[in-house]
């Protein structure tokens, strides 16, 4: 009993959770690799598929390797994780959205003209 | 039972547990902020990845096979790092040193592969100066490599510490933090593998 409580703050998973996480991660990695190397999907379908596999692997590793949802700090670990995911979403999706719009509204001719003006006619 | 535990002042052991769990939570918060750093680098890469100014793109430059080897190596090292933690919790010093050593070698191998790739790209004229795509690529993957280097230095010092002073409470806590860091680096690499190498290799 004392052995269990003594290691409570630093407790992790079991052999089983690490092995499961390892096998799941290898499977997901190989699956994503095969989707690309065998040309099974193309275009946006492929992008969504491999990004989906990466996100599944993220949660598999958070659960099996980082033991999210266990340990004494599980509540605050989870809260900071959610906050981080929100900020990451805003940074990544916002940047892509804004830059895509800039590209869309600026034709190559306008861009060349602008760059020539800025560079002093190079 | 619960009531009496709440009434009496905390024992030294409980205070130490409390301190350990605060340290681990603090480190977790650091990792979350590091995720935000990587997110900004990923966003930069995603925006700049087609700006090759006539140079070769990701499809021509990167080898999927090579990236898969790197991925599997780092993934396995993440697993063996977990085995080291299991050994630490059962106070098996030799096993801890063995699995940390295996993790270290795999991490070192990964870093070697990455530097070899950078070197090959740079000598073939594709350094970070060539275009926005390559600048973003070197910054993103290089920052990850820098984290791996830090992790390896930390792992090396932990092996010396464990070999010297055994598996006390403080060393166990440090090993727990190190394992959090190492698993986190593996998770970041999954996204580098997917976004840089797989999406690059597919030409999307």
pLDDT digits (tens, 9 = 90+) for B2-42: 555 556 777 888 888 888 889 999 999 999 999 999 999 99
How near does any CA of chain B get to the CA of A103, in Å? 10
Q: Which pLDDT score, from 0 to 100, does residue A7 have? A: 47
Partners of residue B29 in chain A, C-beta under 8 Å = 80
Same structural domain for residues A96 and A39? no
pLDDT digits 0-9 by tens, B36-63? 999 999 999 999 998 888 889 998 999 9
**Superfamily for B24-49+85-202?**
Cytochrome c oxidase, subunit III, four-helix bundle (1.20.120.80)
Same structural domain for residues A21 and A31? yes
Token code pair at residue B176: 């727990």
Same structural domain for residues A32 and A43? yes
> Domain map of chain B by residue range?
24-49+85-202
More confident residue, A36 or A12: A36
- Report the SS3 class of residue B167: coil
Same structural domain for residues A20 and A59? yes
Same structural domain for residues A83 and A44? no
* Chain-chain contact of A33 with B198 (C-beta, under 8 angstroms): yes
B40 touches A91 (CB < 8 A): yes
What is each CA distance from B182 to A25, B178, B187, in whole angstroms?
15, 6, 9
Partners of residue A83 in chain B, C-beta under 8 Å = 32
- Distance (Å, whole) CA B203 – CA B62: 11
How near does any CA of chain A get to the CA of B86, in Å? 7
Minimum CA–CA partner of B48 in chain A: A99
Q: Which pLDDT score, from 0 to 100, does residue A122 have? A: 46
Same structural domain for residues A106 and A81? yes
Residue B31 makes CB contacts below 8 A (sequence gap 6+) with B180, B181, B184
Same structural domain for residues A58 and A92? no
Q: Which residue has the tokens 């680096």?
A: B185
- Report the SS3 class of residue A73: coil
Domain that holds residue A113: 73-122
Q: Which pLDDT score, from 0 to 100, does residue A8 have? A: 53
Same structural domain for residues A58 and A83? no
The total of structural domains in chain A comes to: 2
Same structural domain for residues A8 and A60? yes
* Chain-chain contact of B64 with A37 (C-beta, under 8 angstroms): yes
Q: Which pLDDT score, from 0 to 100, does residue A72 have? A: 77
The last residue of a domain, from among A36, A55, A72: A72
Same structural domain for residues A55 and A104? no
Q: Which of B122, B110, B81, B112 is nearest to B98 (CA)?
A: B81
Terminal Cα distance for chain B, rounded: 61
A67 touches A12 (CB < 8 A): yes
**What sections of chain A are H helices per DSSP?**
2-6, 15-37, 43-64, 74-105, 108-119
pLDDT digits 0-9 by tens, B120-171? 999 999 999 999 999 999 999 999 999 999 999 999 999 999 999 999 999 9
* Chain-chain contact of B64 with A66 (C-beta, under 8 angstroms): no
The last residue of a domain, from among A51, A72, A93: A72
Q: Which pLDDT score, from 0 to 100, does residue A73 have? A: 82
Minimum CA–CA partner of B181 in chain A: A66
Q: Which pLDDT score, from 0 to 100, does residue A3 have? A: 42
Same structural domain for residues A92 and A68? no
**DSSP per position, B95-141:** HHHHHHHHHHHHHHHHHHHHHHHHHHHHHTT--TTS-HHHHHHHHHH
- Distance (Å, whole) CA A67 – CA B128: 38
Partners of residue A15 in chain B, C-beta under 8 Å = 83, 86
- pLDDT tier at B105 (50, 70, 90 boundaries)? very high
* Chain-chain contact of B35 with A84 (C-beta, under 8 angstroms): yes
C-alpha of B1 from chain center: 42
Partners of residue B172 in chain A, C-beta under 8 Å = 7, 10
pLDDT digits 0-9 by tens, A16-52? 999 999 999 999 999 999 999 998 888 889 999 999 9
Query: What mean pLDDT, rounded, does chain B reach?
Result: 93
Residue B181 makes CB contacts below 8 A (sequence gap 6+) with B27, B31, B151, B154
Q: Which pLDDT score, from 0 to 100, does residue B136 have? A: 96
Same structural domain for residues A81 and A41? no
Tell me what percent of the residues of chain A surpass a pLDDT of 90. 55
The last residue of a domain, from among A49, A72, A95: A72
pLDDT digits 0-9 by tens, B172-184? 999 999 999 999 9
**What sections of chain B are H helices per DSSP?**
2-7, 12-48, 58-61, 64-89, 93-123, 132-165, 169-192, 199-202
């Amino acid at each position: 009993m004392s052995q269990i409580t003594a290691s409570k703050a630093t407790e992790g998973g079991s052999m089983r959770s690490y092995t499961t996480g390892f096998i799941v991660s290898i499977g997901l990695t190989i699956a994503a690799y095969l989707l690309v190397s065998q040309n099974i999907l193309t275009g946006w379908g492929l992008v969504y598929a491999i990004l989906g596999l990466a996100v599944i692997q993220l949660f598999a590793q958070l659960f099996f390797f980082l033991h999210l949802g266990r340990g004494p700090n599980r509540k605050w670990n989870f809260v900071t994780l959610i906050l981080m995911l929100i900020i990451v979403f805003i940074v990544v999706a916002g940047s892509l959205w804004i830059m895509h719009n800039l590209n869309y509204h600026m034709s190559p001719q306008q861009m060349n003209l602008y760059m020539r003006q800025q560079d002093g006619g190079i | 039972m619960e009531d009496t535990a709440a009434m009496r002042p905390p024992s030294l052991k409980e205070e130490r547990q409390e301190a350990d769990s605060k340290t681990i939570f603090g480190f977790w918060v650091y990792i979350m902020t590091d995720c935000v750093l990587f997110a900004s680098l990923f966003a930069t890469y995603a925006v700049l990845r087609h700006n090759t100014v006539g140079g070769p793109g990701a499809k021509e430059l990167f080898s999927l096979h090579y990236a898969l080897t790197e991925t599997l190596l780092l993934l396995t090292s993440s697993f063996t790092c977990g085995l080291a933690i299991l050994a630490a919790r059962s106070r098996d010093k030799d096993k801890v040193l063995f699995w940390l050593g295996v993790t270290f070698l795999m991490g070192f191998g990964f870093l070697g592969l990455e530097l070899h790739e950078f070197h090959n790209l740079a000598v073939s004229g594709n350094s970070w100066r060539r275009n926005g795509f390559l600048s973003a690529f070197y910054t993103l993957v290089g920052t990850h490599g820098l984290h791996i280097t830090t992790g390896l230095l930390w792992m090396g010092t932990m092996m010396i510490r464990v070999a010297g002073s055994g598996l006390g409470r403080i060393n166990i806590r440090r090993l727990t933090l190190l394992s959090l860091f190492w698993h986190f680096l593996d998770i970041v690499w999954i996204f580098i593998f997917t976004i840089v190498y797989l999406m690059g290799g597919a030409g999307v």
